[in-house]
Chains A and B, each alone.
Chain A
Amino acid sequence: MKAALRLLLVFLPALLPVLLLGAGAAEAHPHVWITSTSELIYAPDGTLTGVRHAWTFDEMFAAYALQGIETKTKGAYTREELAPLAQTNVESLKEYAYFTFAKADGRKEKFNEPVDYFLDYKDNQLTLHFTLPLKAPFKAKALVLEVFDHSFFIDFKLAEKDPVRMVGAPEGCQMKIQRPSDGSASAQQLNEQTFMDGGANSNFGMMFANKITVDCP
């Protein structure tokens, strides 16, 4: 007992810095801002085959990314000139699972490596285009797609206008979009969702994730 007390006395003050500073230990703030538009791509038989993203970077990150890239015309970048950078981008994104997380009827789905990727530079805006094919295309009654960076180094924002389009979706499919800041992740919905997903903890992510749900008959 006395030994335990002593141990506590030893480690409490030593842990003070951690208690003091640890609260923010995993909390970064965004350094990169991405405005995202996406397409859900369906096969003729109604299976979802993949997601096509177009991510526009903020000006500061664009300057960083474009650093040192040789161009024929100053300030203008062609798709070919940007090809090596696009290659680097998609390779780096793999580590973060492309910040894209899909669930079909509650089951996690995986993506293959991106195809048809390229960067374009228009109106001083750098945009990365890429298609993520699903490892196993599926038909789902309830599809949930989230785009976010769990460490919040990148702040993803869905574009104001038409952020998500369904391409060739079966008739009767209903899409809903939830943005992190629009307050739709209300307590009540959270509870309801929590119940449906069968996990008390599985849904706080949606408070800041860009959540796209598609319900099909």
Chain B
Amino acid sequence: MKRFSPLAGRLAACAVAAIALVALDGAVQSVMAQNPFGGPRPAPGSEIGGLVGWILSKQSEFYREISAALRLAKSDGSAVWSLLAVSFAYGIFHAAGPGHGKAVISSYLVANRETARRGIALSFASALMQSLVAITVVAVIAWLLNATAKTMCGAEKAIEIGSYALIAAFGASLVWTKGGRFMRALQATRPEPALAVADHGHRHGHDHDHGDGHVHDDHCGHSHGPAPEELAGPGGWRRGLAAVLSVGIRPCSGAILVLVFALAQGLFWAGIAATLVMGLGTAITVAIIAVVAVSARDLARRLSEAREGSGVLIMRGIEFGAAGLVLLFGSGLLLGYITAERVTCL
């Protein structure tokens, strides 16, 4: 049986991802079709039952309290403390909503076999960056330049598109790497005659890295340890940075509104403090979700360990699938199939 060249394998993997994208396009559209104007849609706020409804109504409540606390802080300095408390609570609840890169960060962690600890670090880094971008946008456009909302909204839109493009590019690069690995695992597990076995042995010698693969307790089946450069490490940090950058560059509309409102009240510093605390709350929620995702992947790995041979394939498949998801989120957001929080343009 003819072996694919690595390049062909990767190209095939990317093609599969592209086809899946097109297929999902249809699926997503039909899902979205349930929400046209005037169409059916679950009622917001109190009318949605369960956890989601509760989270929605809570964040809505906290958000309104932020503006009330800011107004109060103008005359009563001690209200700043309640402003910070409400902002923190808002951040925690708000991150459970759309945006904030939970899905991207979690998928990246699964795809790139990151540890829970790094997941937490990435969550905090991206939330901090999100806050800093919001503060910078308002400080430069509103405070320094005293430009209008139209300018600000234009900047927000540009940043938004940039963020989605970055996520898509990041996802594409993950698909490229993980697709190659998935294809290799696919070939390795295929029951093949003598030639393949010989080949198998050959590859074993090249790919298996005893030092790295086993120290990290990374179960790699009986062969095909990860190439060192693909493990978390120097290269991994660079990739982690890409995750933080692509997610963190888009500020949340709520923070922008709060900052501009604070500026209008002459309390810009309070708005900055509120935004940073909000980011802290967001980071906590995203970190929790990231840890859940990493744990789920580890559970899958442990389950798949029991299966000789195909266990590797399953894990490579999961990684590839997660990489594909990042690409899917990026392109979905870019093309408007996935709706994130709208930017404040009216």
Contact = CB atoms under 8 A, between A and B. Distances in A.
Interface string B318-342: 1011101100000000000011011
Contact of A13 (B55, B296, B324): B296
Given A23-B52, A27-B97, A89-B346, A68 B44 contact: no
A31 B63 contact: yes
A29 B97 contact: yes
B71 to A, nearest CB: 7
B103 to A, nearest CB: 5
Interface stretch (A42-50, A134-142, A159-167, A201-209): A201-209
B188 to A, nearest CB: 14
A67 B325 contact: no
Chain B binding surface, main DSSP class: helix
Interface residues of A, number: 60
Contacts of A15: 321, 325
A13 B37 contact: no
Contacts of B36: 150
A29 B301 CA distance: 37
Assign chain B's interface to a size class: 35 or more
Contact of A85 (B35, B148, B289, B313): B148
B345 interface: yes
Contact of B38 (A27, A93, A205): A205
B325 A14 contact: yes
A18 B325 contact: yes
B260 A21 contact: no
B43 A28 contact: no
A30 interface: yes
A208 B325 contact: no
B257 A60 contact: yes
Contacts of B60: 29-30
B39 interface: yes
A145 to B, nearest CB: 11
Interface string A1-33: 000001001110111111011111111111110
10 contacts: A10-B320, A27-B56, A29-B94, A31-B63, A31-B254, A64-B149, A67-B142, A93-B346, A151-B339, A181-B46
A-B residue pairs, 3 tightest by C-beta = A14-B321, A10-B317, A204-B40
